[in-house]
Amino acid sequence: MSVALYITAMAVVTYLIRMIPFAFFRKKIKSRFFRSFLYYIPYAVLSAMTIPAIFYSTGNIVTAIVGTLTAFVLSYFNLPLIVVALSATATAFISGMIL
């Protein structure tokens, strides 16, 4: 019974998050500041959720830092996402084996 309640609560919350902007913003937003604020919200939320998970995922802060630095360097050179993800994972794994 509790699983059905959790699924229902998640569905309601998801629906509300998607419908509230449509209910309140009927006209085009003209404020340049507010539009830029809304533009960067997804990136900020994604970063806030991802960065802590990166540093706690390996159980060792050194391997997490090595993997993150690898990802930053490879993404700076505009490599594909799959290359960056696999290389960062492999680097973190190998550094964990060495340490």
CB 60 within 8 A of CB 91: no
Closest to 71 (Cα-Cα) out of 40, 57, 97 = 57
Residue 59: DSSP 8-state: S
The first and second tokens of residue 80, run together, are: 């594909």
Domain map of the chain by residue range? 2-98
The first and second tokens of residue 73, run together, are: 């360097």
Give the span between the Cα atoms of 23 and 79, in whole angstroms: 40
Comparison of pLDDT for 11 and 17, the residue scoring more: 11
- In this predicted model, what pLDDT tens digit does every residue of 27-64 receive, in sequence order? 888 889 988 888 888 888 888 988 898 888 888 999 99
> Is the overall model pTM greater than 0.75, yes or no?
no
